[in-house]
Amino acid sequence: MLPDIAAGEGPATWRMLVDDGRAPATVMLCLGVGLYAFNDFIVTTTMPSAVLDLGSVHLISLAFSVFLVAAIVGGAAGGRIKQRFGARTALLAAAGLVAAGATVSASAPDMMTVIAGRVLTGLGEGVLAAICYALIPELFPSRLVPKIFGAEAVVWALAAFAGPLAGGLLAEHVSWRAAFLINLPLIALFAALVPQCVPRRDPATRDTSGQTLPLGRLGLVAAAILSASFAVLAGDAMTVAGLLGLALGGLALAVHLDRGAASRLFPRGAFGLRTPLGPAFWVVVLMPVGQATVAVYLALTMQQVFGYGAALAGFTVSILALAWSAAAIVVATLSRVAVSLPMIRLGPLLLFVGLAATAIGIPLGSQTTVILGQVLVGTGFGVNWAFLSHHVMAAAGREDRDLAAALLPTAQSAGYALGAALAGLVAAVHGIGEGGGRRGAHPGSAVDLCGGRDRRAAGAWRLAGDPAGGGGRGNVAALSERCC
């Protein structure tokens, strides 16, 4: 188990992140998170310009889906790759993949080449994020873990604002192609820091338990996430339900097959209920599921129900990221001994209240209630995430710590994908069709589509936003009790 945060001399301070030669490691890990976040927000802003320029508007959803699938597959393999090749080699190779993917996308003559570049970028960034998580307990003493997560939360919040702004300015005044290349200097800095921060692996410690990656299980994970991604786009309830069922079945089968494998992707006890590690991972997955069911339609709802413009609606969505970062910074200043378990349990409770407030505020037409709900949801993640992550790393034990830490961002991303698919199912059941309106309804009734002015649409929002409804999300708080 990791040493307790109380170990060491005196309380942990922010300065300790840069003292004793830790500054390069802090910058490297923050860059690892920042590259993923900054690239995600930039590309989200500039991809519409790319598809319009290349004449392939119908492929825009595929460009996002393949990136998500590749990132989750890369993240799922990240722990095994670290054990097999060492963190230094894996990080440098992953950074090379990200750079290659960005270059391919930026120079693409057609949209399929852009998509190929997005696959390379997704694989690289998935591995980067996973291994950066796995390195936290290796590069920092236990009592600084909440601090490093707080620093990463600040980077994520900055990316949430700077990414869309930079992407929009580049697309408008230079080219959408330049937006894909803006990360290259950051990638170069990251690659330069890796040899300074990550020691070369001793060949004697090389893991030979599995000479090859478990491609079959990785393929199952990829197929499952791809099914969930397509479920968001499907128009009828039966198709969405079928794709969501395939996604859940594929993930369950991958976890089941992994338990008896010699070369595992997941730590022992992951997603079981008999050890502290299993319920903790369920919380990691289910909290994003609950949040994503609302987030998928939130910006559109703010525009069509409350009359917001695109910029103001986008700012409303970003409130969650700001609240997350602010809460993470606050709890990082506290003693882990005093607040660890209460914060892990408080997170799902705040998520429950925040989603309920959002679900109530939309049909009532209360903007204040909706915004308060988003603040509560973000705060729930912020107070919970660092301590929950630390708990997972400790509960996994030294042998499985790499796999457990690397699985954290991957499990969270999978939760978002499943939550988005669940939102698509709720929308399809309640007749919310393609293009933002209910099938067969007058175009003006699009105001109703996400919980606006009639009981039917409001019912969809209550089901999607209420943590007690759909998918067992009301059990997140109970699971957080069991994991701690």
| All domains of the chain in start order, with CATH | 15-199 (1.20.1250.20), 269-484 (1.20.1250.20)
Residue 425 CA to residue 427 CA, distance in Å, equals: 5
Write out pLDDT tens, residues 402-435: 888 888 888 988 888 888 888 878 777 766 544 4
Phi, psi of 253 (to 5 degrees): -65, -40
Q: Which of 226-230, 243-247, 316-320, 431-435 has the lowest mean pLDDT?
A: 431-435
Structure tokens at 248: 């859940």
pLDDT at 275: 84
User: How many Cβ atoms sit within 10 Å of the Cβ of residue 181?
Assistant: 17
Lowest mean pLDDT among 87-101, 315-329, 414-428, 452-466: 452-466
CA 233 remoteness from chain centre: 19
pLDDT above 90 covers what percent of the chain? 27
For tokens 């679900």, name the residue: 359
- Examine the pLDDT at 436 and tell me if it is beyond 60: no
Sign of torsion over alpha carbons 52, 58, 64, 70: negative
Q: By CB neighbour count within 10 A (0-12 exposed, 13-18 middle, 19+ buried), where does 109 fall?
A: exposed
Tens of pLDDT, residue by residue over 25-49, are 999 999 988 888 888 778 877 888 8
The C-alpha atoms of residue 51 and residue 110 are separated, in whole angstroms, by 9
Residue 209 is predicted with a pLDDT of 53
DSSP secondary structure string for all residues of 261-319: -SS-SS-TTTT-SSSTHHHHHHHHHHHHHHHHHHHHHHHHHHHHTT---HHHHHHHHHH
pLDDT: which is higher, 458 or 298: 298
Sign, CA torsion 434/440/443/448: negative
Position 139, amino acid: L
Q: Phi/psi of residue 140, each to 5°?
A: -130, 145
Q: How many CB atoms lie within 10 A of CB 249?
A: 14
Confidence (pLDDT) at 46: 83
Window from 6-10, 123-127, 392-396 with minimum mean pLDDT: 6-10
Helix, strand, coil content of the chain in percent (nearest 5): 80, 0, 20
How far apart (Å, rounded) are the C-alpha atoms in residues 102 and 197?
25
- The residue whose two tokens read 């067992």 is 472
Distance of CA 460 to the CA centre of its chain: 24
Burial 372-404 (b: 16+ CB within 10 A, else e): bbbbbbbbbbbbbbbbbbbbbbbbbeeebbbbb
Residue 377 contacts residue 351 (beta carbons within 8 Å):
yes
Q: What is the pLDDT of residues 328-385, one digit of tens each?
A: 888 887 766 667 888 999 999 999 999 999 989 988 989 999 999 999 999 999 999 9
pLDDT-derived band at 483 (thresholds 50, 70, 90) equals low
Is pLDDT of 70 > 80? yes
DSSP-H helix ranges across 55-144? 60-85, 87-106, 111-139
Which DSSP state fits 443? G
What is the predicted pLDDT for the residue at 337? 62
DSSP label of 438:
B
Whole-angstrom distance, CA of residue 140 vs CA of residue 150: 14
Going from the C-alpha of 66 to that of each of 58, 93, 162, 177, 242, the distances in angstroms are 14, 20, 24, 19, 20
Mean pLDDT of 223-240: 82
pLDDT at 469 (0 to 100): 41
The residues, any chain, with a CB within 8 Å of residue 26's CB and separated by 6 or more, are 17, 18, 148, 151
Are 417 and 230 in contact, with CB atoms under 8 Å apart? no
Helices vs strands, H then E, count in the chain: 15, 0
Instruction: Write out the two tokens for 63.
Output: 């460009």
Please report the pLDDT score of residue 478 as a whole number: 63
Quote the pLDDT of residue 465.
39
Highest mean pLDDT out of 123-127, 198-202, 225-229: 123-127
In tens, the pLDDT along 134-147 reads 898 889 888 888 88
Task: Give the model confidence (pLDDT) of 187-219 as tens digits.
Answer: 999 999 999 998 876 554 555 554 577 888 888
Main-chain dihedrals φ then ψ at residue 438, nearest 5 degrees = -80, 140
Looking at the predicted structure, is the pLDDT value of residue 7 above 60? no
For the chain, the average pLDDT equals 80
pLDDT-wise least confident of 298-307, 350-359, 373-382, 445-454: 445-454
